Amino acid sequence: MKITDRRLAQEKGSVTIFATAALVAMISMVALAVDVGRMMVAKNELQNAADMAALEGAKGFGNYFAPNATQAASKASTAVTTLNKVDKLALQTSDASIITGRWTEGAGFQAITPALNPGEMPAIRVSLSRTSGQGTGAIATFFARIFGVSSFNAGATAVGVLSGTSIEGSAALPIAIDYCYAQNNWNFSSSAPLSGSTITIKSAYADVQESTDPTALCKSGQWTSLYSTVNDANAVKRIMTNGSTEDLDVSKDIHIEPGLKASVYDDIATVLKSGPVAGYLPVVVDSLAAFGTNPNDAVNNKVDLAQKSDHPTVAFVPFQITGVDKKNNTVSGRFLTMTEAETLINEESIRDALTNAPRLVQ
C-alpha cells in the first residue's frame, strides 16, 4: 500500500506540473490574442484617420488649377487632431507627417510644389504613427506585459489628390481646345465663362492672341476622335451626334485628328440644323509656356495640334456649338455657365465636381 500511495503522490505532482504549464500556455495565448487584436484595431484606426486626413487635405487645395498647398496641409492637420481617435486617444500633430506635392499615375507621389501640368494632380501624403517617445506615444499592451512587452508601435499612410473632371461620354464634343485659348474665355479658378460672347475655334494652324500677353500667340483647337484612333470624319460626326461610347477622365490621353476632310464641316452643319449642340470640350496644352514652366516637366508634354498625336486632357469645359464655317475651317459657339450646362447638357453628365474631386490614390 505504501508503494501505491507513493506512486499516486508522484502522479498527482506530475498532473499539477502539466496543469500549471497548460495554464501558462493558455494565458500566453489569451495575451497574444488580446494584444494582437488590439494592435490590428489600432492599425485600422490609424489607417482610417490617415485616409480622412488625406481627403480633407485634398479638399483644402481648393481648385485643381490653382492648388493652395498651405491650406491643404492645414486642413489635413486639423483633421488629424479632431476627426479620429486611436486606441481611445486623440492624435496630436506630432503624430503626423504631412507633405504636399503632386501625383502622376506613373511616378506616384512626388514631394514637389503642386503645379498644373498635363497628367498631374495636386496631392497630399499623410503619415500617422503611434510611436514610443513621440506624440501620444506607443500603444500600451495588457496581458503581454507579463512577458515584458509593455507597448507596440503602429503606423499608416494615405495619399489624397484633387483630380479633375470625369464626364459621361455622351456629353463629350469632338473638339479639343487649347488651354492657352480657353483661359482667355474661361475662368478655371471659378469654373465660369469670362463672358457670354461667341468665340471662334479656328484651325490649329491659326494662331490667336493670348489676352494676358499681347505679344504671345496660342493655338485655338483641333478635331479629336477622343479615345478612338480612327481618322475618319464619320467618327467625329458620330461623336457630335451621340457622344463617345466611353466616359472621359482628366489625364487620360485623347487622339488629336488634324487630317480630317473638309466635309466634316458639312456634316456638323447638318447636325446643327436641329439646333445648337452643347457638351464638354476636352482641354489640351499646345504651349507649355502658357500652361506653367517647371524644370521637372518633360517638353513632350506639349500637344502639337497640327500633328496627329495622343496627349492627356487637363480639363473639360462646357460649350455650345452654334455654327461652322467650311470656307474658313472654323467652329463658333460660346462657353456655358454651370447652371446652363446642367440644363442644356445633362445635370448628371459630370460625375464629379468640375475641378474639385478629392479621392484617395494610396
Residue 222, all three cell numbers? 483641333
pLDDT digits (tens, 9 = 90+) for 319-330: 999 998 888 888
Cβ partners under 8 Å of residue 290, min gap 6: 179, 180, 183, 210, 216, 218
> Which range among 2-6, 15-19, 267-271, 273-277 shows the weakest confidence by mean pLDDT?
2-6
Residue 296, all three cell numbers? 521637372
Identify the pLDDT of residue 72: 93
Percent of the chain with pLDDT over 70: 73
Taking the C-alpha atoms of residue 285 and residue 288, their distance in angstroms, rounded to an integer, is 7
Residue 124, classed as helix, strand or coil, is: strand
For 343, phi and psi rounded to 5 degrees?
-85, -45
For 331, phi and psi rounded to 5 degrees?
-120, 135
Mean pLDDT of 152-161: 91
Residue 113 pLDDT > 80: no
Taking the C-alpha atoms of residue 165 and residue 314, their distance in angstroms, rounded to an integer, is 9
**Nearest CA-CA partner of 95 in 87, 104, 103, 105:** 87
Mean pLDDT of the chain: 77
- What b/e readout covers 4-37, taking b as 16+ CB neighbours within 10 angstroms? eeeeeeeeeeeeeeeeeeeeeeeeeeebeeebee
Residue 337, all three cell numbers? 455657365
Q: DSSP label at 299? A: G
CB atoms within 10 A of CB 237: 18
Cβ partners under 8 Å of residue 23, min gap 6: none
Does 220 or 128 have the greater pLDDT score? 128
Taking the C-alpha atoms of residue 228 and residue 253, their distance in angstroms, rounded to an integer, is 10
